[in-house]
């Protein structure tokens, strides 16, 4: 079917570029705008369903309809279908000035002023001024041809101030136009609302619908970013089986890519369990570690193990991955992870263990913490170093004010150096996570 559509579109493009194009253009004068709009809708739906070659035809159709609407006899708008076609064209990526042109010359009242006015405001970037009117208009026209488009536009305008109202409008849009570019946009933006509002169950439901219907859309990468953000931001509320179930609708290469994205984002955010799960799934789909995908899976899995008791092994595994298999951003991540590991695994300087002591008197009050510390020192015990920092979290290494003057110089130098390096690493990882 897709191949047949592609041949049809290429044929139309060939006609438009051929010497017979003038005659073809003349024939356009006999085609009603609503029929031309059907062709545009077919092309746009083909694009989001995976026929990316139709993008050229989309641009061609938008230009052709624009020219037709500007040169058409106004009497053609006696047919309400042509009025709807002009409005839908404006909401489908058409030239907003064309709607302005038509409305300004509408002496017979073909265009409903309420609809045309809110759309003109929206298309001119002033949609917030007519947000409530757009919502009311979308609800009034929900059973009309322009209903799904008005609902989508209404959702776009209200999403900032009233995301729940926008979600209702997006539901209205996608249910009224299943399998179309309208549903694709509505589903993608619904996932975005769920990410920000923490609506995990709804977000997963929308995500599954998107993957099943629009996996090959040119906007699928935007959806993948939102899906990864939903999982990482709310990892404790998402079951691994849910992730596997949703991604199972993808072919293996796409599954592997999304799992790698999850592993990377989770490793940076310090969500170790999610990062290791995603890295393991990606490794399974990659086949082995002898290819770039397997190496990346190993790398992100190693990153996730940095804040654990397996930090030594993780640091060694990360170091063995070739620079050729890492992007510049991943090389920076590895440098940060290596620096963290070095600081955590670095043995303390023996000289720093020598602490100045203060003679005790029977009258001196000793707190429980001081007593515990004194007991450890007398027994020759060395306190464990601080646990490894979680990636992306701020690190506070400031010594207590009371004992700063008595600290060994080599220990003070170690603390200052470590704090400087770890602050740089925090800055890098915070920038990555943003």
**The pLDDT value given to residue 1:** 44
Spatial separation of the C-alpha atoms in residues 153 and 424, rounded to whole Å: 44
**The pLDDT value given to residue 141:** 95
Question: Please, how many CA atoms are within 13 Å of residue 358, restricted to the half-sphere of its CB?
Answer: 10
Over residues 408-425, mean pLDDT: 50
Phi, psi of 265 (to 5 degrees): -65, -40
Number of CB atoms found within 10 A of residue 429's CB: 24
Inform me whether the pLDDT recorded for 313 exceeds 90: no
Phi, psi of 325 (to 5 degrees): -95, 5
The answer to whether residues 71 and 83 touch, using CB atoms and an 8 Å cutoff, is: no
Strand locations in 67-155 (E):
none
Question: Please, how many CA atoms are within 13 Å of residue 390, restricted to the half-sphere of its CB?
Answer: 9
In our burial notation (b when 16+ CB lie closer than 10 A, e otherwise), range 65-99 reads bbebbeebeeebbeeeebbbbbbbbbbbebbbebb
- Encode pLDDT of 363-392 as tens digits: 444 344 444 444 444 444 333 333 333 333
The answer to whether residues 47 and 111 touch, using CB atoms and an 8 Å cutoff, is: no
Inform me whether the pLDDT recorded for 322 exceeds 90: no
**The pLDDT value given to residue 388:** 35
The answer to whether residues 421 and 343 touch, using CB atoms and an 8 Å cutoff, is: yes
**The pLDDT value given to residue 66:** 96
Q: Which residue has the higher pLDDT, 47 or 367?
A: 47
Inform me whether the pLDDT recorded for 231 exceeds 70: yes
Calculate what percentage of the chain has a pLDDT beyond 90: 49
Over residues 299-327, mean pLDDT: 55
**The pLDDT value given to residue 264:** 83
The answer to whether residues 267 and 300 touch, using CB atoms and an 8 Å cutoff, is: yes
Spatial separation of the C-alpha atoms in residues 286 and 301, rounded to whole Å: 14
| Helix axes 80-91 and 96-104, enclosed angle (nearest 10) | 150
**The pLDDT value given to residue 266:** 86
Spatial separation of the C-alpha atoms in residues 261 and 257, rounded to whole Å: 6
Count helices and strands in the chain by DSSP H and E runs: 21, 0
DSSP string of 158-173? HTTT-HHHHHHHHHHH
Inform me whether the pLDDT recorded for 164 exceeds 90: yes
The answer to whether residues 223 and 191 touch, using CB atoms and an 8 Å cutoff, is: yes
**The pLDDT value given to residue 271:** 82
What length does the chain have?
Answer: 434
Q: Which residue has the higher pLDDT, 166 or 323?
A: 166
Phi, psi of 131 (to 5 degrees): -60, -50
Inform me whether the pLDDT recorded for 414 exceeds 70: no
* pLDDT bucket at 21, cuts 50 / 70 / 90: very low
Spatial separation of the C-alpha atoms in residues 420 and 415, rounded to whole Å: 9
Calculate what percentage of the chain has a pLDDT beyond 70: 59
Inform me whether the pLDDT recorded for 422 exceeds 90: no
Closest to 58 in 3D by CA, of 121, 3, 97, 16: 16
H-helix segments, 320-390: 328-345, 368-378
* pLDDT bucket at 53, cuts 50 / 70 / 90: confident
Inform me whether the pLDDT recorded for 276 exceeds 90: no
**The pLDDT value given to residue 267:** 80
Closest to 77 in 3D by CA, of 31, 109, 118, 119: 109
| Structure token pair of residue 40 | 């545009």
Over residues 115-134, mean pLDDT: 92
Q: Is the model's pTM score more than 0.75?
A: no
Over residues 339-357, mean pLDDT: 52
The answer to whether residues 64 and 36 touch, using CB atoms and an 8 Å cutoff, is: yes
**The pLDDT value given to residue 372:** 43
- Encode pLDDT of 129-148 as tens digits: 999 999 999 999 999 999 99
Spatial separation of the C-alpha atoms in residues 306 and 429, rounded to whole Å: 14
Inform me whether the pLDDT recorded for 405 exceeds 90: no
Inform me whether the pLDDT recorded for 345 exceeds 50: no
- Encode pLDDT of 186-216 as tens digits: 999 999 999 999 999 999 999 999 999 999 9
The answer to whether residues 292 and 325 touch, using CB atoms and an 8 Å cutoff, is: yes
**The pLDDT value given to residue 27:** 54
The CA–CA distances, whole Å, from 46 to 57, 66, 79 equal 10, 21, 27
- Cα 291 to chain center, whole Å? 27
* pLDDT bucket at 362, cuts 50 / 70 / 90: very low
The answer to whether residues 343 and 408 touch, using CB atoms and an 8 Å cutoff, is: no
């Amino acid at each position: 079917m897709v191949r047949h559509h592609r041949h049809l579109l290429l044929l139309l493009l060939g006609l438009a570029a051929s010497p017979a194009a003038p005659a073809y253009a003349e024939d356009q004068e006999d085609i009603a705008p609503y029929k031309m709009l059907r062709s545009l809708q077919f092309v746009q739906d083909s694009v989001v369903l995976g026929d990316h070659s139709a993008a050229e035809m989309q641009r061609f159709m938008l230009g052709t309809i624009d020219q037709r609407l500007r040169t058409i006899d106004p009497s053609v708008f006696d047919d309400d279908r042509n009025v709807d076609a002009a409005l839908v064209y404006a909401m489908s990526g058409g030239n907003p000035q064309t709607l302005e042109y038509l409305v300004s010359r509408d002496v017979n009242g073909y265009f409903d002023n309420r609809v045309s006015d809110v759309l003109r405001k929206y298309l001119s970037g002033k949609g917030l001024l007519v947000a409530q009117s757009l919502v009311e208009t979308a609800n009034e026209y929900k059973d009309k041809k322009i209903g799904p488009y008005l609902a989508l536009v209404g959702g776009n305008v209200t999403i900032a101030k009233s995301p729940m109202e926008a979600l209702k409008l997006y539901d209205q849009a996608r249910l009224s136009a299943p399998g179309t570019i309208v549903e694709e946009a509505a589903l993608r933006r619904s996932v975005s609302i769920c990410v920000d509002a923490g609506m995990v169950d709804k977000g997963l439901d929308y995500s599954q619908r998107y993957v099943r219907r629009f996996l090959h859309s040119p906007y699928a990468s935007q959806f993948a970013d939102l899906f990864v953000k939903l999982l990482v931001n709310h990892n404790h509320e998402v079951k691994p089986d849910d992730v596997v179930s949703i991604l199972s609708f993808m072919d293996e290469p796409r599954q592997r890519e999304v799992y790698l994205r999850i592993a990377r984002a989770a490793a940076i955010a310090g969500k170790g369990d999610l990062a290791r799960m995603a890295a393991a799934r990606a490794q399974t789909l990659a086949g082995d570690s002898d290819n770039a995908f397997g190496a990346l899976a190993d790398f992100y899995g190693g990153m996730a193990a940095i804040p654990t008791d397996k930090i030594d092994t993780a640091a060694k595994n990360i170091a063995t991955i070739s620079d050729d298999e890492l992007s510049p951003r991943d090389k920076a991540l590895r440098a940060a992870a290596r620096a963290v590991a070095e600081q955590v695994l670095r043995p303390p300087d023996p000289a720093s263990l020598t602490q100045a002591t203060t003679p005790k008197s029977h009258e001196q009050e000793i707190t429980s913490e001081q007593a515990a510390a004194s007991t450890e020192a007398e027994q020759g015990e060395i306190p464990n170093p601080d646990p490894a920092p979680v990636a992306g979290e701020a690190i506070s290494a400031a010594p207590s004010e009371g004992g700063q003057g008595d600290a060994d110089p080599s220990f003070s130098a170690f603390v200052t150096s470590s704090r400087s390096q770890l602050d740089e690493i925090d800055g890098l990882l915070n920038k990555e996570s943003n």
